[in-house]
Amino acid sequence: MTSSGTRADAGLATGLRISVSRLARRLRVERTAPGQAEPVLSDTQFAALATLEKHGAMSPGELAGHERVQPPSMTRVIAALEEWQLVTRAAHASDRRQVVLTVTPAGRELVARARRRRDAWLARRLNELTPQERATLRAAAPILEKLSQS
């Protein structure tokens, strides 16, 4: 790769990092509705709850691995989610030493409301773009997903 190509890629990386970070921060803000009578979860707590809602019941260790956090940190997250009655803990069917976490109906509804709010905000922003800009984002979405998985 040429020196100018390396500089261009570095510039792309910087611009993309800043834009994606700002968008993620804004979407986190949109997750909650001011004045609503619902728990205000940390990003880690919400991510854990959303993971359980999406993937189904799992052990605390599996959840910690999925979220790439240490088990002691996940223990605190789970305790808060249980306190708000967003998850339940039950004995594992085949290994009574293990527990399985499951999202409660209140937890599912909290995740669904947050997703609806964020999707609505993003849809409004997308409507402000030109058709060409939306087409560019549509083409870029799989590439951004690939970057997020690496």
pTM score, whole prediction: 0.79
Number of Cβ within 10 Å of residue 63's Cβ equals 23
Q: In a structure prediction context, what are the per-residue pLDDT tens digits for the chain, which is 150 residues long?
A: 555 567 768 888 888 899 999 988 888 888 877 666 677 888 899 999 999 999 999 999 999 999 989 989 999 999 999 999 999 998 877 777 788 999 999 999 999 999 999 999 999 999 999 999 999 999 999 999 998 887
What architecture (CATH level 2) is domain 31-149? Orthogonal Bundle (1.10)
